[in-house]
């Protein structure tokens, strides 16, 4: 059980590609669609593609959201990917105001309205940097990303309240945003490691070995 990764299936993740990437990185993956199934895994991955509102609703209606929070409080290592990162926050302004899981204090916001006028298309899509936080040791999951680029697809970004929760950053044009957030047994990335080739696979390998 300790080495089994629970991949949360709530109807909005690119499950097959993430599952294959985790397996390629050495993980044993089981898809989780029922809260009780989380008792059988040793770490959790929450993927996501789509709108925050729909993600939060699905996690609430299935009971998976509350179960994830319980398991994270119990210390299970957790990786959130893209929308699976954003839903950790308190609130999002995407299509209205919607509550998240509240595991990382802060909000999910849109890129500046002026960005497209200045030549920066929304969503932010393609290869870009992941700059690890300076002045402290790299997070063990993120160490393989030093000096690497990764693949992003997103129109909204996370703004954590506590600077200690900002583990890595990126800039789209001249606008900086959180590339990675985390605390304790939680790490979450705005980019898609499953689309980030060798760097992404190396990061997933580090997550599988991580013992917070």
192 is catalytic: yes
Q: Give the Cα separation of 43 and 98 in Å (integer).
A: 27
98 is catalytic: no
Among the options 73, 158, 194, 205, which is catalytic?
Answer: 194
Q: Give the Cα separation of 115 and 110 in Å (integer).
A: 10
Determine if residue 106 is left, alpha or beta; phi over 0 gives left, psi from -120 to 50 gives alpha, anything else beta: left
Which stretches of 1-94 are DSSP H helices?
15-24, 52-62, 64-73, 83-86
Q: Give the Cα separation of 26 and 159 in Å (integer).
A: 32
Q: Give the Cα separation of 1 and 76 in Å (integer).
A: 12
Among the options 82, 94, 115, 139, which is catalytic?
Answer: 82
194 is catalytic: yes
Among the options 98, 139, 154, 192, which is catalytic?
Answer: 192
With tokens 């709108």, the residue in question is 51
For the chain, where are the E strands, in sequence order?
4-8, 28-32, 43-46, 78-81, 89-92, 98-99, 104-110, 124-129, 131-132, 149-154, 156-160, 166-172, 175-183, 186-189
Residues annotated as catalytic are: 82, 192, 194
């Amino acid at each position: 059980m300790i080495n089994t990764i629970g991949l949360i299936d709530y109807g909005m993740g690119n499950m097959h590609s993430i599952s294959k990437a985790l397996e390629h990185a050495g993980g044993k993956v089981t898809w989780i669609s029922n809260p009780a199934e989380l008792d059988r895994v040793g770490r959790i991955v929450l993927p996501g593609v789509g709108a925050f509102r729909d993600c939060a609703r699905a996690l609430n209606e299935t009971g998976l959201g509350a179960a994830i929070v319980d398991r994270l409080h119990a210390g299970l290592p957790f990786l959130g990917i893209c929308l699976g990162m954003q839903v950790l926050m308190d609130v999002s302004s995407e299509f209205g105001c919607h509550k998240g899981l509240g595991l990382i204090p802060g909000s999910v916001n849109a890129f500046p309205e002026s960005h497209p006028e200045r030549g920066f298309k929304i969503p932010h899509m393609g290869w870009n940097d992941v700059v690890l936080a300076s002045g402290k040791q790299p997070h063990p999951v993120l160490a393989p990303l030093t000096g690497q680029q990764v693949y992003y697809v997103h129109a909204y970004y996370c703004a954590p309240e506590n600077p200690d929760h900002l583990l890595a950053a990126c800039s789209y044009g001249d606008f900086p945003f959180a590339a990675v957030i985390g605390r304790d047994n939680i790490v979450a990335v705005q980019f898609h490691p499953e689309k980030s080739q060798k760097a992404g696979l190396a990061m997933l390998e580090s997550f599988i070995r991580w013992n917070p």
